[in-house]
A and B are shown apart, each in its own frame.
Chain A
């Protein structure tokens, strides 16, 4: 496998380049010289590739398609609302590659490597912060399962470390070690994991795609997918008909709704996931921590808010909001693990719609309709995948065959029995 990850030589147009110097220069003239981060494109009658969905997946796909596969021709992204308005703009910003199964780990590790060069790649500070992630274990069985996972990560060339309680306590002293219902015994650590500024990822890819000539078309909802003789020919949108040589769907929680327009049923069910942020605090938690005996994980944003979350609400939903039992469950987990959080105030909660797949792993594949491609099933873990998801989907769309690290993400794996079920809970999407 030979892939050029980054092209450092490639320079953007000098006028558009972001740097200390450009900010300084602009400050002297009252910041009146900044140009829009991307053009407001109008839909053209026809494109070679139409990407449906202007979220993280769609924008990254557009960027890598334009950059790595310029031969595909003209590219548009059509977005029903505003760019970056889906799950890329409402997640808890964690990036990591600490997966267990061989179908997943190479893909997420590839994504991790893309994250590590993203700022220079995009000339946009997405604030990738490799603050590490601690997955806590609370029993011998959990420790062994994490050892298995950590060993798998190491075999795949990722980094992993298994800490016992004493080591963990030195590094993360503020957990509840002494009065816990499920005492913390240690952690699986990935030091290269961390967080990134989610909106900036969308904007950075949008800007990069725009600079490479991709038309980013907002407020443009696809209402029909046209096909002739089993082959896709274009889309009807709220802003008119667009003919397309290839159509690539990357619409996360809306995947089933869109696929239905092409006559497809997917192994996906949409679920609501809530996320939470507290009031701003001075630095308190300098890493990402995941509770192993309850549904709770937490990190602190650069702005000071503690960003945390837990389990999905557990029922099929297209409403971007959740209910109280999960709010309480998550806060109970938080308090059980970090009793110092008691007086910290939850500032805002919000919800997103997750495309929960039937084995908890994503789908990047062709569909039974020729030239119609799908990127879906990200469950609640799509953010960390954004770079690789776009990279591999672009590869598939351009070449018609899967990228090696995403080769397991086939639509047909359910019929064949090639499942990638990290949690081992089967076709029960609310348990993944």
Chain B
């Protein structure tokens, strides 16, 4: 895969680290108790086929966290943005 980093230009997969999908938001309840929302955020994944947004870290470059829209069935990269 080649990812077009908005800061650095197009770079190879080896410079990036995938973290997780960008479809889940961290609960904003203050986080004192392990609610269902927290379980969902930390542990559950949709993990479906097709395009989705995910977080990639350009650790081998500018250290930016990027939102990469990618088709997980074909590995096609549809867009890359800086959040």
Contacts and interface: CB of A to CB of B under 8 A. Distances in A.
Contacts of A417: 34
Contact of B49 (A315, A318, A415, A430): A318
Q: DSSP class of A's interface residues: helix, strand, loop or mixed?
A: mixed
B74 A257 contact: no
Contacts of B75: 317, 319, 323
B45 A265 contact: yes
A256 B46 CA distance: 7
Interface stretch (A45-53, A75-83, A267-275): A267-275
B13 A323 contact: yes
A316 B21 contact: yes
Interface of A: 256-257, 260, 265-270, 314-319, 323-325, 358, 414-415, 417, 427-428, 430
A318 B72 contact: yes
A430 B73 CA distance: 17
A318 B12 contact: no
A382 B6 CA distance: 39
Interface of B: 1, 12-14, 17-21, 34, 36, 39-40, 42-49, 54, 72-75
A325 B74 contact: no
A286 B39 CA distance: 45
B14 A325 contact: yes
Given A316-B21, A319-B73, A325-B13, A260 B48 contact: yes
A428 B12 CA distance: 22
Given A325-B14, A414-B39, A415-B34, A256 B45 contact: yes
B12 A430 contact: no
Contacts of A415: 34, 36, 39, 43
A414 B43 contact: yes
A367 to B, nearest CB: 13
A203 B1 CA distance: 36
19 contacts: A257-B47, A257-B48, A260-B46, A265-B40, A266-B45, A266-B47, A268-B47, A269-B45, A315-B1, A316-B47, A318-B72, A319-B72, A319-B73, A319-B74, A323-B1, A325-B12, A415-B39, A415-B43, A427-B42
Given A268-B45, A270-B47, 8 more contacts: A256-B45, A256-B46, A260-B46, A323-B75, A325-B12, A358-B42, A415-B43, A417-B34
